[in-house]
């Protein structure tokens, strides 16, 4: 089983739609969770951290389910500019915090 798994997509959604991605992780000791956004041929950029209580940033909501070991990203009112690949990132704790990237979920928002 991969340490971090994501559905590669693509998710093709119309503008204004709500879309959700999940990401599962295998290490129950994982401590920190993040979503990154990566545009084609560009560098990944931190979108948001994921907290146990869930967090929201405008149209984006991230949630963590430790019992089932997954995190989710919800995008409301999708914009054309949301088209990108969304990477799930999981970090453990300890002296060297091992950081594992998912392979990403591709989102295409259609006019």
Please state, in angstroms and as integers, the Cα–Cα distance from residue 47 to each residue in 26, 109, 111, following that order: 22, 18, 23
26 binds other proteins (CB under 8 A): no
How many residues sit close enough to other proteins to count as binding (CB under 8 A)? 21
3-state SS assignment for residue 91: strand
Q: Does residue 80 belong to the site contacting other proteins (CB under 8 A)?
A: no
The separation between the first and the last C-alpha atoms of the chain, rounded to the nearest angstrom, is: 37
- The strand ranges marked E within 7-59 are 11-14, 19-25, 32-38, 44-50, 55-57
Q: How far is the CB of 5 from other proteins (least distance, A)?
A: 10
The residue within the footprint of other proteins, chosen from 104, 106, 107, 109 (CB under 8 A), is: 104
- The continuous run of DSSP H or E covering 64 comes out as strand 60-65
Query: 7 with 86: CB under 8 angstroms?
Result: no
Task: Rule CB under 8 A: choose which of 20, 80, 99, 110 binds other proteins.
Answer: 99
Under rule CB under 8 A, residue 41 binds other proteins: yes
Q: Is 79 in the site for other proteins (CB under 8 A)?
A: no
Under the criterion CB under 8 A, does residue 107 sit at the interface with other proteins?
no
Binding site for other proteins (CB under 8 A): 4, 8, 32, 34, 36, 41-46, 49, 87, 91, 96-97, 99, 101-104
């Amino acid at each position: 089983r991969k340490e971090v798994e994501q559905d590669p997509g693509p998710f093709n959604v119309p503008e204004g739609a709500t879309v959700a991605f999940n990401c599962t992780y295998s290490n129950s000791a994982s401590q920190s969770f993040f979503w990154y956004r990566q545009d084609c041929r560009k560098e990944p950029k931190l979108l948001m951290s994921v907290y146990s209580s869930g967090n929201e940033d405008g149209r984006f909501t991230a949630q963590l389910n430790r019992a089932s070991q997954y995190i989710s990203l919800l995008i409301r009112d999708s914009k054309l500019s949301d088209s990108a690949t969304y990477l799930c990132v999981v970090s453990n704790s300890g002296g060297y915090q091992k950081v594992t990237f998912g392979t990403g979920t591709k989102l295409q928002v259609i006019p």
